[in-house]
Every structure is written in C-alpha cells, then in structure tokens.
Amino acid sequence: SSTGGGWIIDDVIITPIPNDADDIIESSSRKWAAESGADITGAHTAAAIVNQGPGATAPDIDGIPDGATYAKVKVAALTSGQIDLSKSGVINKRADYITYVAGQTIESLKPAEAGSDVTGSHTAAAIVGQGSGATANNLTELNSVEGTKLAGIEDGADVTESRLRFGLLNNGGFETGTTEGWGKSLGDAIEIISGIHYGSSYACRFTVRGSGVGWRLYQWVPVKGGEAVVLTATVKRDESSLPNDDIYFGLSAYDDSGTGATVKENGEAFISKSVSGLQKVRARYVLGDNVSLISARFRTITKGTDGSGHWIVDSVTLSIIPKDAGDVSESTTRKWASESGADITGSHTAAAIVGQGALATKNTVGTADIDDFSVTKADGSFTSASQSFSSLETTIASVTIDTTNAKKVLLNASANLSYSSSEDGYPIIRIKRGSIVLATYVTTRPRNNLDRWVDSFGAIDTSPPGGNQTYSVTVQGSSGNSGTATNRMIWAMVLKK
C-alpha cells in the first residue's frame, strides 16, 4: 500500500468445480441414469426388468390377465355397479346387481313382488309332476289313495283306518277316578274304589241288585261290520259284600239292518261267585256284517231285584284284532305267499337259497355225492352163545336201528337150532318190530335127528314209524318141546330212497 499497510492470509483452499455430471458421485439415495434423459418405462420395455410381470407395462387393468385366485370384472356396457356373472367364482351378496337372462340355469332371482311367496300368487298345479293331492284342501277332494276309493267319496274300502285298534273303551281302567263312559241298569249302584291289582289306582264296584236280570255295567263303542273283537277284564267278588249271583262278561251288538243283533262267534266269559281272588276273563267275537255298535257289558245270570252283594271290575279293554291274515298288512320282512306253503324257489335258482347243500344245484346225483348211510343204513347183532328156548316165546336175537325217513326196512335172521328130545319138533319162528309180528315161520327137522341145523328167515317192514325201532327174532317150541339156539344173528337194512 501506499501507506505501507499489509494483508494477512490464512487457510487458502483450492476447490475444483465439476465440469458435468460425470464429475459428481452417486449418493445413497441418488443414482445416475444409464444415459442422458432416460425414462425406463418410456424408452424401454418393462420386460427388460428382471422378474417383472406383464402388469408392469400395461397402461390399464385391461392389459392384466386373470389370476388363479382373482379375476377382473367387466365394466363395459354395465351400469350401477353391475358385474359380469359369467366369471366363475364371482360372488355378489346383493340381488339388485344381478340381471335376468332368459334361458340361463337360474332364470330369475327377483320375485314378482316384494316379499312375495310364489305359492301365494301361483296355484300348486304350476309345480311340475305333482299329483292331484297337491292342491286338495282336504281328504274329500282326493279321488283315491293308491287306487282304492275312500269311504264317503264313493263305495269302497277304508284304506286310511287301521285294522288293528286297541283300548277302544273310554276310561276302561277307571283311572280317571270316575265312572266316565260307563252306564248302568236302573236301580243298580256303581262306585269308584281303589284298584284291585298292581299298577291300578282305581276300580269300579257295582251291585248285583237291579231292575230285573240283565246288564249291570256297560259301555257302547262304534265298530265296523265283520270285524273281530276281543274283550278282557280283571274281576273279583267283594269279600265284604259277597254277591249272590254269577255274572257274564261279553258284548251285545246293534245291527243296522234292523234284523236284530248278529254275533257270528259267541265268546262270552263266565265269572263265578264261588271263586275268591282275581279272575282274569277274555271273550272273543266276530261281528256280523251289519253290526255298527257294540256294548261291552257285565250281566247277571238269575237274580234281579232279589240280587245282593257286589262285584269289582278293573282294567276292562276292547280291541279290534285280525280275523285272519287278510286283515294284516305285509311288513318289510314278512311277505304273503300266493299260495299256502309256498316258498321262493320258484323265482330263484337254488344257488340263491341261503344255507343249502352242495346237492341243491346238481341235475344228477352219484354215489360219490351222497354221505355214507344217508340213503341206506344197515346194522345187526350176532352171538355164538347158546340160548335155551321152550314152549314159551323166547327172543334169541335183536337189533335197534334209526328208521327216521325210512321207506322200508329189510330184515334177515338165522340160527343153529336143536331139540333136546327125540320127538319131531315144530319150532315157530317170528320176526317182530317191538310187539308187532312182521313174519311167522314153522320149521321141521328129520325124525330122530338130534343134530343142530341152520335155518334162515326174512321179513320186510313196509311201514316203519320212524325213530329208533327194535327188531327181534323169537323161537317158540311146539308140543312141549324145548331146545337151544346158537350162532344167533339178525340184521336190518333201512332204505330211505
């Protein structure tokens, strides 16, 4: 300086200035492009990026294909948020967005009116394949049930009513504690007392005395003509007031034809005044065809106004039972045969019969197919021991054999016979089944010949009774002669076929 002053200089720094981007280093968040002005989605296809999907370069969702789990919905030509139901798996919980399409599997999900019930605005006849019963208001409007006319519509059977009905009496056990349902004869007295057997709370006691001989306690029940009925009751005499008359337990019947009551079978039960304790009684009837009303009743035998004492009754029942098999329906396991004694071998091959033997399907049977002794069976006995005989009949040999299913039994017997005297003898030989004689022989020997000789005899039992039977050969000396038998033998052959 002109004045001679000066500057003090310190920390002089020389900083280079970058000429362009090449002189600037990338940072952790700023990276340089490969070329000036590069736009990786504009100048390059996204496919150049490793592992990218097709959606990377799609300008909109139309360019993205459906996936395995999710699918696109169609927006073209659809309004108000509607979706394309042609896509499988598409679910929409609002029926407002589902459009009716004629001819589709579901033709319409929108009812004709709000809250409507299709059966309210349509007749049931609109349901395909229904029967006439679908629109019937009651049974009267039905034409038939399985081809059988209903009673009350046209003449025919009552297929809706069970043929088996039990406990038809009202208050039959008096368990209401009253005489409800029961009537009595004029002058009779009936009252409820404690039950007379286990499990019964109440019973009914009635007097023998009444307006004449006849009904004492009764109840009317409607029935159908031709039915079979059974009545049961438990009865005992009142030990504290013994009755002086027996009673009958049975029924009376009312006949609609006006010709009088008809009962085809009278099963009235007798109840004796001489018996103490419980008497369990039963009566069975088959009603006439015109009977429509019956009365279960107890009646006196001889006493009327002169009757005295009491009877006690309990557990009275009236039941409809089958007259015969015609009143019983087939079950799932029991079927009716078309004729008596029929079996199912007519419609099935023998091989279909459970538990059959090997011979059931054979056209011919040889000896190799038959078990030993299943057709014939033989048995017998033999002894060489000596057996004395006299003028009394003496068994010298016997055999017992099973004759079950036997057609015939062939018999043969033999023995060495000799006499102890020098006179000619005429021993009588018999072959027997039990005490029944099947064959008789009279044999002779040469005069003064004391040696033993052999005789053989046979018989056929043409009517064996079955089971174990004993066959025997007997000897009886004649003219007071006696002798001995040795080498005694009998055999039997049973023929089953």
Confidence of residue 253 (pLDDT cuts 50, 70, 90): confident
| Of the candidate ranges 141-155, 237-251, 315-329, 434-448, the one whose mean pLDDT is the lowest | 141-155
Tokens of 146: 């399985």
In the chain, CATH 2.60.120.260 covers 183-324
Q: Which residues contact 129 (CB under 8 A, 6 or more apart)?
A: none
Tell me which residue of 329, 330, 322 sits closest to 226, measured CA to CA. 322
Would the pLDDT of 395 be above 90?
Answer: yes
* Structure confidence at residue 152 (pLDDT): 39
* Structure confidence at residue 484 (pLDDT): 85
- 3-class SS at 38? coil
Determine contact, residues 100/110, Cβ cutoff 8 Å.
Answer: yes
* Structure confidence at residue 482 (pLDDT): 77
Determine contact, residues 233/311, Cβ cutoff 8 Å.
Answer: no
Q: Strand 483-495 vs strand 408-419: parallel, antiparallel, or unpaired?
A: antiparallel
Would the pLDDT of 382 be above 70?
Answer: yes
Confidence of residue 193 (pLDDT cuts 50, 70, 90): very high
Would the pLDDT of 451 be above 80?
Answer: no
Model confidence pLDDT, tens digit, residues 40-87: 555 555 455 667 777 777 777 777 777 777 766 665 555 555 556 665
At the top level of CATH, the class of 376-495 is: mainly beta
Confidence of residue 148 (pLDDT cuts 50, 70, 90): very low
Quick one: average pLDDT of 258-262?
A: 49
Tokens of 268: 């009235």
| Of the candidate ranges 151-165, 342-356, 388-402, the one whose mean pLDDT is the lowest | 151-165
Would the pLDDT of 369 be above 80?
Answer: no
Q: Is 166 exposed, middle or buried (0-12, 13-18, 19+ CB in 10 A)?
A: exposed
* Structure confidence at residue 471 (pLDDT): 96
Radius of gyration of the chain (CA): 56
| Of the candidate ranges 24-28, 36-40, 54-58, the one whose mean pLDDT is the lowest | 36-40
Cα–Cα distance, 213 to 451 (Å, whole number): 93
* Structure confidence at residue 160 (pLDDT): 37
Confidence of residue 236 (pLDDT cuts 50, 70, 90): very high
Cα–Cα distance, 435 to 382 (Å, whole number): 21
Determine contact, residues 384/486, Cβ cutoff 8 Å.
Answer: yes
Model confidence pLDDT, tens digit, residues 462-495: 999 999 999 999 988 776 677 888 899 999 999 9
* Structure confidence at residue 36 (pLDDT): 67
How is domain 183-324 classified at the architecture level of CATH?
Sandwich (2.60)
Model confidence pLDDT, tens digit, residues 200-232: 899 999 887 766 666 778 888 888 888 888 889
Give the Cβ contact number of residue 487 at 10 Å: 16
Mean pLDDT value across the chain? 75
Determine contact, residues 159/148, Cβ cutoff 8 Å.
Answer: yes
In the chain, CATH 2.60.120.760 covers 376-495
Between 415 and 82, residue with greater pLDDT:
415
Determine contact, residues 266/285, Cβ cutoff 8 Å.
Answer: yes
Give the Cβ contact number of residue 312 at 10 Å: 21
| Of the candidate ranges 52-56, 189-193, 298-302, 406-410, the one whose mean pLDDT is the lowest | 52-56
